[in-house]
Amino acid sequence: MFKKTRIQELLGLEYPIFQGGMAWVANADLAAAVSNGGGLGVIAAGNMPPELLDREIKRAKSMTDRPFAVNIMLMSPTAEAAIEVVAENRVPVVTTGAGSPGKVIERLKPLGTIIIPVIASVAHAKRVEKQGADAVVAEGTEAGGHIGELTTMVLVPQVADAVSIPVVAAGGIADGRGVVAAFALGAEGVQVGTRFVCAVESPAHEAYKRMIIEATDRSTVVTGRTTGHPVRCIKNKLTRRFEEMEAAGVSLEELEALGAGKLRAAVTDGDVEWGSVMAGQSAGLVKKVQPAAEIIKELFSDAERILRGLENRLE
């Protein structure tokens, strides 16, 4: 029922779906599983040392012959090194976040790399299109991790109207209803993060996955607004302490010290009390751990069923 979109044609995908570039979660195992399932798997460079990123890229290549991407967080101190590792390995696709992708486009596009920045405003989308981006991921504030201010519902259609390159919708999408809504808003693909944290192939600690599965509609909170880099996480002792310190007006350095290493603590060590359990508001829709390929098929089979139901209602 879904016609092939420009995103699928551009990337050679069976399904128009990206897996989010989630630091400490989006490794070669998850990326390869998503790509083998017909979507675009993504390795998150995060703050990885270049030798580790090189190893993860080579592992992904050994596990899939399908396209996959590396997400480069431009605020990271290792971003420059990540660009070079990607160039050396001729990674076919790069997504970017947290900054201007100009240097990524200049270095990698001449090598044939497809560049898809994650953006949170119309102005940002128009700017990266002028810089040479091949598509954009318009991510609403419902998403987990670092977020912008606009919701997916209002951001995606405005971005779709403002740029001529394909738009992928992100933020709050975890089932077939979200996929249908994204396409209705003008997107040509979706990016899913939180649900893929609960993929069988995800390296996230079982305690982290359980926090997501047990989440409700009001389980997440945004901290760090005073720093200019707000983050959405599931509420726990860390987020409460963060809110207390922000309310007390402590220094940026103290807040950064509180957050240092906390995502790894949650993802790798399973510390879901004092670790940073980054997840989107869609956590309340995630009910089980499944193989990545099964998640993808379920999302799009549900979306097609919903579309058929809508057609019947409109007749």
Taking only the tens place, the pLDDT of each residue in 22-32 is 988 999 999 99
Percent of the chain scoring above 70 in pLDDT: 99
Helices 28-36 and 50-63, axial angle in degrees (round to 10): 30
Contacts of residue 269, Cβ cutoff 8 Å, sequence gap at least 6 = 205, 275
Query: How much is the average pLDDT of 113-129?
Result: 95
Which is more confidently placed, 101 or 207?
A: 207
As a whole number of angstroms, the distance between CA 281 and CA 165 comes to 27
Find, among 25, 35, 56, the residue nearest to 292 by Cα. Answer: 35
Arithmetic mean of pLDDT over the chain: 93
Question: What does the pLDDT look like over 125-169, one tens digit per residue?
Answer: 999 999 999 999 999 999 998 888 999 999 999 999 999 999 999
As a whole number of angstroms, the distance between CA 236 and CA 217 comes to 15
Question: Which pLDDT band holds residue 267 (cuts at 50, 70, 90)?
Answer: very high
Q: Report the range of poorest mean pLDDT among 90-94, 139-143, 226-230.
A: 226-230
Query: How much is the average pLDDT of 180-184?
Result: 96
Question: Which pLDDT band holds residue 1 (cuts at 50, 70, 90)?
Answer: low
Query: Is the model's pLDDT at 242 over the cut of 70?
Result: yes
Query: 31, 87 in Cβ contact below 8 A?
Result: no
- The per-residue pLDDT for 315 is 62
Q: Report the range of poorest mean pLDDT among 127-141, 250-264, 288-302.
A: 250-264
